[in-house]
């Protein structure tokens, strides 16, 4: 299944994401309500795991907005708010299940599986594409214009993240968290160095260049040719 974890506690999000991935699920993470809403609005996930207390937009508001937009992805609220009134508010906002922290991971997993059975499983893409760039996640092969490109494991992971967000700007902080799992700034040029190496392999000798620097913001992988 494809699961979106919307949780601002980095340690908790890593724990849940790692456990779900070990069970074979595809997991994305958003650390704020607005970011979670942006990702969930497309309706491409099988289950959403949503914290009640989120920065920017709280969990109740997020789910109400999704339901108003007719996004019916099953939602599991995961929160420290354990009162009966809290659980009722979550369910009435459009949640499908409610689990209180602290929790046993096996119970969370069982609830996620139960929610996933309520709708047809969305098959995760095994091939990612942008313009004439293609990444096969099964064979671990990358090609551009039919030419195979040899990438190191970290370069592959970096490109995978850019492809999954093709057409959208990703920040340095997002890359540090999602590619290196750093939840602090190491104050090195690790991102810039790897982007430079990736460009030398993905863009050198090809037209047009696909990896763009958005000054003061981050990077963007062009989804199509201009």
Alpha carbons 56 and 98: distance in angstroms, whole number: 21
At 12-65, the pLDDT tens digits run 999 999 999 988 899 999 999 999 998 898 878 999 999 999 998 999 999 999
What pLDDT, on a 0 to 100 scale, did the predictor assign at position 107? 93
Alpha carbons 185 and 171: distance in angstroms, whole number: 12
% of residues, the chain, pLDDT over 70: 96
CATH assignment of 127-221?
1.10.10.10
% of residues, the chain, pLDDT over 90: 61
| Cβ contacts of 91 within 8 Å, gap of 6 or more | 98
**Which class for 100: exposed (0-12), middle (13-18), buried (19 or more C-beta within 10 A)?**
middle
At 149-187, the pLDDT tens digits run 999 999 999 999 999 899 999 999 999 988 998 877 888
- Average pLDDT rounded to a whole number, residues 89-116: 91
Which helix (DSSP H) or strand (DSSP E) does residue 208 occupy?
A: none
At 194-210, the pLDDT tens digits run 999 999 999 998 989 99
What pLDDT, on a 0 to 100 scale, did the predictor assign at position 226? 61
What pLDDT, on a 0 to 100 scale, did the predictor assign at position 224? 86
Backbone angles phi, psi at 20, to 5 degrees: -70, -40
Strands 47-51 and 2-6: parallel
For 2-116, CATH number out of 3.30.750.24, 3.40.50.2300, 2.60.40.1930, 3.30.70.1520 equals 3.40.50.2300
79: left (phi over 0), alpha (psi -120 to 50) or beta: beta
Predicted confidence (pLDDT) at residue 127 exceeds the cutoff of 50: yes
> Helix axis angle, 172-179 relative to 190-202, nearest 10°?
90
- Determine contact, residues 79/53, Cβ cutoff 8 Å: yes
Predicted confidence (pLDDT) at residue 123 exceeds the cutoff of 70: no
> Residue ranges per domain, the chain?
2-116, 127-221
Strand order in the sheet with 47-51: 26-30, 2-6, 47-51, 75-79, 97-100
- The yes-or-no answer to whether 2-116 and 127-221 have a common fold is no
Which of the four pLDDT bands, split at 50, 70 and 90, describes residue 121? very low
What pLDDT, on a 0 to 100 scale, did the predictor assign at position 122? 46
pTM of the model: 0.54
């Amino acid at each position: 299944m494809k699961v979106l974890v919307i949780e601002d506690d980095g340690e908790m999000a890593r724990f849940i994401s790692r456990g779900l991935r070990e069970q074979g699920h595809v997991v994305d993470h958003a650390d704020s309500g607005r970011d979670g809403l942006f990702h969930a609005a497309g309706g491409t996930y099988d289950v959403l795991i949503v914290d009640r207390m989120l920065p920017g937009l709280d969990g109740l508001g997020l789910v109400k907005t999704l339901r108003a937009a007719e996004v019916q992805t099953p939602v599991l609220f995961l929160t420290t708010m354990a009162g009966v009134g809290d659980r009722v508010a979550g369910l009435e906002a459009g949640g499908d299940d409610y689990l209180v922290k602290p929790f046993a991971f096996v119970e969370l997993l069982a609830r996620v599986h139960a929610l996933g059975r309520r709708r047809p499983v969305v098959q995760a893409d095994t091939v990612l594409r942008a313009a004439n760039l293609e990444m096969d996640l099964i064979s671990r092969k990358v090609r551009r214009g039919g030419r195979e490109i040899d990438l190191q494991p970290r370069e592959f992971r970096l490109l995978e993240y850019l492809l999954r967000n093709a057409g959208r700007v990703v920040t340095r902080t997002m890359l540090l968290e999602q590619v290196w799992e750093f939840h602090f700034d190491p104050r090195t040029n690790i991102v810039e160095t790897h982007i430079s190496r990736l460009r030398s392999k993905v863009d050198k000798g090809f037209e047009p260049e696909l990896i763009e620097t958005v000054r003061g913001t981050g990077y963007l992988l062009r989804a199509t040719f201009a």
